[in-house]
Amino acid sequence: MAEQPCVDRPKTEEILGSYPHEEPSLIQVLQDVHRAYNYLPCDVLVRVAEVLDVPLAKVFSVSTFYKAFSLEPQGDTIIKVCTGTACHIRGAGQLVEELERKLGIG
């Protein structure tokens, strides 16, 4: 895994200060953190666990359960391609290859 850049601590503290410091705030806090950084930095997850007094395992579990959250840095634009059986039969694999070639990724 690539080394993750340091995060802007005041932004994290501002987000945490916007919610009650209790477990029911967890998903809302994670949504705001994800919106701010385009992913959930590991050091921020540790801080969220500390401030909300939630076990880090629970924070990590919630962070990995929802597809809307990512633990890896994301680009500004996310392109999703259906790769289910029906989509695969209709050429999803070729579409992914062409997108990767055009975008210089993959």
All structural domains of the chain, each given as residue ranges with its CATH number in brackets, are 1-74 (1.10.10.1590), 76-106 (no CATH)
Q: How does pLDDT run along the chain (106 residues), one tens digit per residue?
A: 444 555 667 899 999 999 999 999 999 999 999 999 999 999 999 999 999 999 999 999 999 999 999 999 988 888 899 999 999 999 999 999 999 999 998 7
What sign for the dihedral angle of Cα 59, 47, 43, 37? positive
Say if residue 33 is exposed, middle or buried (CB neighbours under 10 Å; 0-12, 13-18, 19+): buried
pTM of the model: 0.73
In which residue are the tokens 């385009």 written?
A: 38
What whole-number distance in Å separates Cα of residue 27 and Cα of residue 32?
A: 9
Distances (CA, A) of 18 to 14, 32, 49: 6, 10, 15
